[in-house]
């Protein structure tokens, strides 16, 4: 675990978004889990697709549908950047898994090329969204959780958690760069693998999986998430969680 150089220094928590991508499996709902590269902030851990907000996320508000600026700001308890988090969630999901929560006129081959260009930095999210006439469907994403990593870490994150159903006709495939593996798996099976130490998951991931493990359909998980969204999401600071539980 990387710590700050001095006890008096606290790194700012970088705003980020992550997405629980769901589908119904043969026996129970499945989540698309991705394995982070060992050199990343959450090295070798299995997690949900996601990452930090980028400047381009703020430039596509006019292409967002399903959530108004006022609604997004109120849901996330921010002054003016609510849609940035929805945009980042959609962008990171597309970059990391190839799943696009929105409509565009591009062919499958063009989307593959655009994803590669986004990942290598030769194409910006705002230029891609504008040129492809993308309509980002923020209504497909349900906000249900907010976590902040501990103050002693050198790299800290303030992460908003969203849930979304896998759109019909789309396939999730990890990027094979920042991510080294992926799988569709039930929450129960991840938790069992975590206990057996065959899959490493961090505390917020584990607690999220524990919250949804009993549900029998992906739609039921989304309904649960909507109830949390409607009730108002409160921030959980990991500094308030005993280290023995993490």
How far is residue 104's CA from residue 98's CA, in Å, rounded to a whole number? 14
CA angle 95, 143, 82 (to 5 degrees): 75
Calculate the average pLDDT of the chain. 93
pLDDT in tens, 56-103: 999 999 999 999 999 999 999 999 999 999 999 999 999 999 999 999
Q: How confident is the model at residue 43 (pLDDT cuts 50, 70, 90)?
A: low
How many CB atoms sit inside 10 A of residue 174's CB?
19
How far is residue 190's CA from residue 172's CA, in Å, rounded to a whole number? 18
CA angle 77, 83, 89 (to 5 degrees): 105
Q: What is residue 42's predicted lDDT score, i.e. its pLDDT? A: 56
Query: Does residue 46 have a pLDDT over 80?
Result: yes
Domain 13-245 sits in CATH 3.30.465.10: no
Q: What is residue 5's predicted lDDT score, i.e. its pLDDT? A: 46
Rounded to the nearest 10°, the torsion over CA 49, 54, 59, 60 is: 0
pLDDT in tens, 168-210: 999 999 988 889 999 999 999 999 999 999 999 999 999 999 9
How far is residue 132's CA from residue 103's CA, in Å, rounded to a whole number? 9
Would you list the domain boundaries of the chain?
13-245
Query: Does residue 132 have a pLDDT over 50?
Result: yes
How far is residue 6's CA from residue 101's CA, in Å, rounded to a whole number? 42
Q: How confident is the model at residue 215 (pLDDT cuts 50, 70, 90)?
A: very high
pTM: 0.93
Q: What is residue 201's predicted lDDT score, i.e. its pLDDT? A: 95
Q: What is residue 229's predicted lDDT score, i.e. its pLDDT? A: 97
Average pLDDT over residues 4-29: 87
Average pLDDT over residues 104-121: 95
């Amino acid at each position: 675990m990387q710590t700050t150089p001095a006890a008096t220094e606290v790194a700012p928590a970088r705003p980020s978004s992550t997405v629980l991508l769901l589908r119904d499996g043969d026996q129970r709902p499945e989540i698309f889990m991705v394995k982070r590269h060992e050199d990343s902030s959450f090295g070798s851990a299995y997690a949900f697709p996601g990452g930090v907000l980028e400047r381009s996320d703020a430039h596509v508000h006019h292409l967002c549908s399903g959530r108004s600026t006022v609604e997004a700001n109120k849901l996330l308890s921010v002054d003016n950047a609510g849609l940035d988090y929805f945009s980042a969630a959609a962008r990171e999901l597309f970059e990391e898994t190839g799943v696009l929560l929105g409509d565009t006129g591009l062919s499958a081959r063009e989307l593959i090329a655009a994803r590669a260009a986004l990942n290598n930095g030769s194409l910006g999210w705002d230029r891609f969204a504008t040129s492809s006439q993308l309509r980002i469907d923020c209504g497909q994403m349900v906000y249900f959780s907010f976590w902040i990593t501990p103050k002693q870490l050198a790299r800290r994150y303030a992460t908003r958690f969203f849930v979304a159903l896998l759109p019909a006709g789309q396939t999730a495939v990890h990027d094979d760069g920042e991510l080294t593996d992926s799988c569709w798996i039930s929450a129960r099976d991840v938790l069992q693998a975590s206990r057996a130490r065959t899959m490493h998951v961090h505390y917020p991931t584990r607690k999220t999986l524990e919250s949804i493990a009993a549900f029998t359909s992906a739609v039921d998980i989304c309904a649960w998430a909507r109830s949390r969204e409607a009730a108002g999401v409160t921030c959980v600071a990991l500094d308030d969680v005993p280290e023995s539980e993490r």
